Chain A
Amino acid sequence: MHHPAKAHFYYLLPGFVILALTSLSLSLLIGSHDISLHQVISLLSSPDNSLASQIIHEVRLPRTLSAFAVGGLLALAGALMQVLLRNPLGDPYVLGVSGGAASAALFGMILGVAGWLITPIAFIGAMISILVVFGLSRFQSEQQTLLLAGVVMAAFWGALISLTLSLTPPMQLPGMLFWLMGDLSDAQQPFISLLILAAGLVFSLMIANQLNIAIYGEEQAHSLGINTQQLRLKLYMLTSLLTASAVSIAGAIGFIGLIIPHLVRLLGVTDHRNVLPMSVLAGGSLLVLADLLARILISPMQIPVGIFTALLGVPVFLWLLVRSRS
């Protein structure tokens, strides 16, 4: 008898690695300036002073890695929230967690706090949102109620963001709007977010077999030997951190956390020891590709990538909603 989850891990996961490497290469290759594959490879290992080298190292590489990190962070946060909610409609954007992080980050920007402080501030916003929404689960375990609470929270943060924007000096407005719509053109420092992504993935893989059991509900998970309160607390912290670091790089990019884990599950992957790393790789790849389109579709102008993911995500969300009802 074969262990199916283990088989997926060994045979399916490498496919996702190849997908990620392909999308990363495409994003490095394609742009306003033609650079050949051979040149890209040699420049990556040994940068020189040429224009091509500058484009690769200062423009394409940071942006591509940021896109990958943000996509991976959001997909991982979504997969974890779906376990918390026991519902495939869980997503940091839908549940207002991104909104909380974005409001807090925006508030920080208006106050003019240092750049490195934006992520911790966004984390507090995300935490507030998640505690309000999931705090209700102590009294109301109805999934629909939770989802509704999330949607209402998202609306609340939306209003708060509008208020902040209406009070912002016009000079600062375009940049903030672009950031809010989900934009990667300013993303410069991918390494911290890649580090958070890697740490988040390792930590969530360590609790992945508990997540497999948490989906049977609080009573059964407890009976099967899980410390459910502790697990829930870990998930609150983890999803808030992942969402906050994604939001502080690229604003509120929606629906990656919804689409990606669902697509992975559609492939027949159910075990979270596989769902989580595959979601990270696929989410990173999707956002890299979406950002590539956003860069080149109407170049030299750029479209905020969050618009793409929302246009893709809303139909998927509605389809999921109809399916979960039937």
Chain B
Amino acid sequence: MSLSINKLTLSTTKRCLVNELSLSVTTGERWVIIGPNGAGKSSLLKACVGLTAHPEVTFEQKAIYDYEPKDRAQRIGLLSQQSLTGFNTRTLDLVLSGSYALTTSYWEDQDHLHAAVVLLKSLGLSENMNQAASELSGGELRRAEIARLMLQNPKVMLLDEPLNHLDLHQQKATQDILLNHLAKHNNAALWVEHDLNRARAIATHAVLLKGDGHWQAGEAEDLLTSKNLSELLNTPLQSIGEQDYLSVFY
């Protein structure tokens, strides 16, 4: 199982963001994507899920956008930054929509319904199950969307700042739930992360996007050094303490 990107170029109307990016993501790997604002991190995820037609992105030698939509959704899924709920749809239905690609029957499976309930419980949303999703707080909605992606359970999860809007204690708990899920199913992840220390804690690999076409991709240990990240983010960083935490110079 592998998601391959072969010489992918992303650009806006004005400038080139990423020039000929190549990398290959295999089972169980966790790639963090780091870069300044507007460097093309979200655009990269959109290209990977086939929202934009890029033949350079392939899953098992077949272009992502050539897959049948349901087949694609079983292989790759996106937690986007844009959180939308519809009308007065219940939180449980939002999560249950993750099972669309997994079934051919008209009504959702009873098994998926149970799974959705279990996922909501594990993410601390059992109280909100029958609440309209539009009434959830930002952090609650985010967790519901994470539950939906976990129900969909694609082989490659694309996570665009998944822990944004979450309270501190929820960040750690949700991070652990996501990491456990990835480990249990041996899924891979491409994870956009702004918190450098979290990035260093979770990543096996990293992609650094400079935003001017330049990029680096490889093993996390080699790339996520304070020197590298200082240059990338144009901010002096230093390592502190035994845990080797990164901190900004003031």
Q: Which residues of A does B touch, CB under 8 Å?
A: 1, 3-6, 82-83, 86, 88, 209-210, 212-213, 215-220, 222-227, 265, 268, 270-271, 273
Contacts and interface: CB of A to CB of B under 8 A. Distances in A.
Contact of B80 (A88, A220, A226): A220
B86 A222 contact: no
B80 to A, nearest CB: 5
Given A224-B98, A225-B73, A226-B69, A265 B51 contact: no
B77 A223 contact: yes
Nearest to B154: A223
26 contacts: A1-B113, A1-B117, A3-B110, A5-B93, A5-B107, A6-B107, A82-B87, A209-B106, A212-B89, A213-B97, A216-B85, A216-B86, A217-B82, A218-B51, A219-B78, A219-B80, A220-B80, A222-B50, A223-B77, A224-B97, A225-B73, A225-B74, A225-B101, A265-B87, A265-B88, A270-B88
A224 B117 CA distance: 19
Given A222-B50, A270-B89, A213 B100 contact: yes
B165 interface: no
B90 interface: yes
Contacts of A222: 49-51, 69, 78
Interface in B133-157: 145, 148, 152
B70 interface: yes
A140 to B, nearest CB: 15
Interface in B97-143: 97-98, 100-101, 106-108, 110, 113-114, 117
Interface string B45-66: 0100111000000000000000
Query: Ordered nearest first, which 6 A-B pairs have the shortest CB separation?
Result: A215-B86, A225-B73, A225-B101, A217-B84, A223-B78, A225-B70
Given A224-B73, A224-B100, A265-B87, A219 B93 contact: no
B32 interface: no
B69 A212 contact: no
Contacts of A216: 84-86, 94, 97
A218 B152 CA distance: 17
Contacts of B41: none
Nearest to A86: B86
